[in-house]
Amino acid sequence: MKQTDLAIVGGGPAGLCAAITASRLGAEVVLIDDSDRLGGQLVKQTHKFFGSKRHYCGTRGMDIATTLEQELRALPAEILSGTSVVGLYGGSVSAERRALQETRVQGSTGSGVQVPESQNPRTPEPPNPFRGVLGLASRDRFTKLGFKCLIAATGAAENNVLFQNNDLPGVYGAGAVQTLMNVYGVKPGTRVLMVGSGNIGLIVSYQLIQAGIEVAAVVEALPKIGGYHVHAAKLARLGVPILTSHTVLSAMGKEQVEGAVICRVGKDLKPVARTARKLKVDTICLAVGLTPLSELLWQSGCSMVYVPELGGHVAWHDENMQTSLCHVYLAGDVSGIEEASTAMLEGRVAGAHAAMQVLGPNPDAKRVLTESQAELCAIRKGPFGDKAACGKARLAECAPATGTVPARGLSPKPTL
């Protein structure tokens, strides 16, 4: 069986940055992504990104993906694209947890950088040289990969929303619409109703118009537009109605979407009687939020907590992006829905810390770690970082492996 120091699952901005960082520090890295093109969400973002200059602000998402990919390809890291991770095996959960608790106690006086396991006399060496095994499925074969540390950077999946006929062909996630038109150059439909006015809803509406597709309206259940003013203003200038306090009641059609019924909603978000209207559209595009893709982390047995601000269930993690299992890290949207710049920084943090765990303490790694952590703090203190900062703070409040009832409705992972 193939083995590596560091297995990184997901080739979005978080996974790419983790791989670049760890590989530069000298760790042996395998990056696995299920699509043929690296970059995750970035490959279909044709707009210029917001954020700070250092994090590619003003660069189009797809160009960031190319830059990062070139950087990684110049390093000795191995890249397995077109390969899905379909399972995680091995590693004794309780032993690992105990080991981490011991390291935490020992490391709690120090710099915030944990004592790597191998340096800790109280932690017994695990019997295997590698701590777990990933099951990999590519198009024609199933293989295994042993690893010492795992970084999950699997991103997030799109949410659906309840309405009549929401399963009809023609009801698409916003990401699907983007993939179809920005990656393959195929129009998803001719006239679209966009559900959700967050940044994704607004940006994808604009991209639809750029592709020559009509946007009938954007509906938003809340009384105010969710996304940034710049994006909403662009749409308004093009005459696209953004209907706040409106929702979609049903999709019309038998075999595919032929129309949509929308209506106004009150403050309680319930439909207001006699306000239903029919819209002639052939596509309903849903941009109603994302949920972290945590399957691998659930399977790893690390502590999971429910934090609505982060998008649902996320693996508990500390400022080093380490979960309650010391050999399992996470980075990017899977650790809470945020943005590309924070995903890249989290990737760097996870990559640097994991590299130290396999290679031993290293001043370069420490520098990357503290710099990236400081930048993350700065971004989250900024005007748009409120929600994520709040979510991460709530995460820090709950103890990972002790099983105590965490504060304010955070629920520990039920035992599987």
Ligand X SMILES: Cc1cc2nc3c(=O)[nH]c(=O)nc-3n(C[C@H](O)[C@H](O)[C@H](O)COP(=O)(O)OP(=O)(O)OC[C@H]3O[C@@H](n4cnc5c(N)ncnc54)[C@H](O)[C@@H]3O)c2cc1C
Q: Footprint of another protein on this chain (CB under 8 A)?
A: 34-36, 46, 60, 84, 157-158, 160, 167-173, 175-176, 179-188, 190-191, 210-212, 216-217, 223, 239, 241, 243-245, 254-256, 259, 264, 272, 274-275, 277-280, 293
Contact mark string toward ligand X, 57..96, x via CB under 6 A? ---------------------------xx-----------
- Could you say whether residue 50 binds ligand X (CB under 6 A)? yes
Which of ligand X, another protein, none has residue 410 at its interface (CB below 5 to 8 Å by kind)?
none
- Could you say whether residue 35 binds ligand X (CB under 6 A)? yes
Which two structure tokens, joined as six digits, stand for 397? 């409040």
Contact mark string toward ligand X, 256..295, x via CB under 6 A? -------------------------------------x--
**At its nearest, how many Å lie between ligand X and the CB of residue 162?**
21
Nearer to another protein, 160 or 402 (CB): 160
**At its nearest, how many Å lie between another protein and the CB of residue 383?**
25
**At its nearest, how many Å lie between ligand X and the CB of residue 120?**
30
Which of ligand X, another protein, none has residue 18 at its interface (CB below 5 to 8 Å by kind)?
none
Rounded CA separation 67/89 (Å): 34
Helix (H, G, I), strand (E, B) or coil at 304: strand
Which of 10, 31, 9 shows the shortest CA–CA distance to 20?
Answer: 31
Which of another protein, ligand X, none has residue 180 at its interface (CB below 5 to 8 Å by kind)?
another protein
Which of ligand X, another protein, none has residue 279 at its interface (CB below 5 to 8 Å by kind)?
another protein
- Could you say whether residue 339 binds ligand X (CB under 6 A)? yes
β-strands 290-292, 277-279 pairing: unpaired
As beta bridge partners, residue 146 has: 3, 133
Rounded CA separation 2/228 (Å): 46
Rounded CA separation 358/149 (Å): 8
Helix (H) or strand (E) holding 349: helix 340-359
Rounded CA separation 352/129 (Å): 20
Q: Are 345 and 375 in contact, with CB atoms under 8 Å apart?
A: yes
Nearer to ligand X, 32 or 181 (CB): 32
Beta strands in 236-327 (DSSP E): 242-244, 246-252, 259-264, 277-279, 283-286, 290-292, 304-307, 312-315
Nearer to ligand X, 52 or 256 (CB): 52
**At its nearest, how many Å lie between ligand X and the CB of residue 51?**
5
Which of ligand X, another protein, none has residue 51 at its interface (CB below 5 to 8 Å by kind)?
ligand X
Footprint (CB under 6 A) of ligand X, residues 387-406: none
Footprint (CB under 6 A) of ligand X, residues 298-317: none
Which of ligand X, another protein, none has residue 268 at its interface (CB below 5 to 8 Å by kind)?
none
Helix (H) or strand (E) holding 89: strand 83-89
Rounded CA separation 383/333 (Å): 19
Nearer to another protein, 262 or 326 (CB): 262
Among 155, 170, 173, 400, binds ligand X (CB under 6 A): 155
Rounded CA separation 73/70 (Å): 5
Which of 384, 256, 326, 414 shows the shortest CA–CA distance to 94?
Answer: 326
| CA quadruple 181, 186, 187, 189: dihedral sign | negative
Among 6, 7, 10, 369, binds ligand X (CB under 6 A): 10
Token match 């944990």: residue? 114
Q: Give how far Cα 179 sits from Cα of 70, 164, 337, 371, 393, Å.
A: 22, 25, 19, 34, 34
**At its nearest, how many Å lie between ligand X and the CB of residue 35?**
5
- Could you say whether residue 45 binds ligand X (CB under 6 A)? yes
- Could you say whether residue 372 binds ligand X (CB under 6 A)? no
**Chain centroid, CA 177 distance in Å:** 18
Q: Are 330 and 315 in contact, with CB atoms under 8 Å apart?
A: yes
Nearer to another protein, 254 or 408 (CB): 254
Among 8, 21, 29, 51, binds ligand X (CB under 6 A): 51
Site of interaction with ligand X (CB under 6 A): 9-15, 32-35, 40-42, 45, 49-51, 84-85, 153-156, 175, 200, 203-204, 293, 332-334, 338-341, 343
